[in-house]
Structure 1
């Protein structure tokens, strides 16, 4: 089975993370609540894909980001998702592809539909709480 590399970004503001409800016409994970992201295209670096996906998904540019972790997500394809934390950006967030965007409190129950996303959020919370 081929592995398709992707990037996802935890957009964080204070103690909240931005999640999206994927459109029903998406090939992978239609209708699920997820961390925004997308596929790395030919000859792109992870960081180039991150910058492109943030513009495509939300029409914003990150000004501060850091790598968090990499996890597999088996769906219609096997994805290797590289997660980044983005804590500063320029532009106004606009949903370009998702059906809906929502800010969710990291202290509460998150409605995330992908196990890899849940693990990545858990890793962020574990590290964030340790660094407080």
Structure 2
């Protein structure tokens, strides 16, 4: 089975996380609440994907980020999602691909995707070390 690598970004501000409501016409996970991200393109590094996808999805450029973890997400394809924490960025957040993006409390959020829930739990578990 082919593995499709993706990068997702845990964007944080004031004890809140930015989540997206995926568009209805998305091939995978339509209408679900998720951590934003996207597929790696052939020949791209994870960091290149991070910068490209943040610009394409949210119109921002990260100025402070770090790798968090990688998790498998079995959807219509098997995805290996590489999660990054984004603490600072340049630009104004705009939802360019999702139906909408909204801020939610870190501890109480409506995430629908199991891998995203695990990644956010991992961030909370390691938060004191990561900050």
Cα RMSD, aligned residues only: 1.1
Whole-Å separation in 1 of the counterparts to 2:129 and 2:105: 18
1:1-132 counterparts in 2 under 5 A? 1-108=1-108, 110-129=109-128
Whole-Å separation in 2 of the counterparts to 1:78 and 1:65: 26
Gaps of 5+ in 1: none
Residues 14-66 of structure 1: CA distance to partner in whole angstroms, max 9, x if unpaired? 21000000000000100000000000001000000000000000000000000
Aligned-pair CA distance for 1:69: 0.1
Decide whether aligned partners of structure 1 residues 131 and 80 sit closer, same or farther in structure 2, where only a CA change above 3 A counts. closer
* TM-score, normalised by the number of residues in structure 1: 0.96
Whole-Å separation in 2 of the counterparts to 1:131 and 1:114: 23
Aligned-pair CA distance for 1:100: 1.0
Whole-Å separation in 2 of the counterparts to 1:51 and 1:130: 24
Q: Secondary structure at the match of 1:113?
A: coil
Aligned-pair CA distance for 1:128: 1.0
Gaps of 5+ in 2: none
Whole-Å separation in 2 of the counterparts to 1:129 and 1:44: 31
* TM-score, normalised by the number of residues in structure 2: 0.97
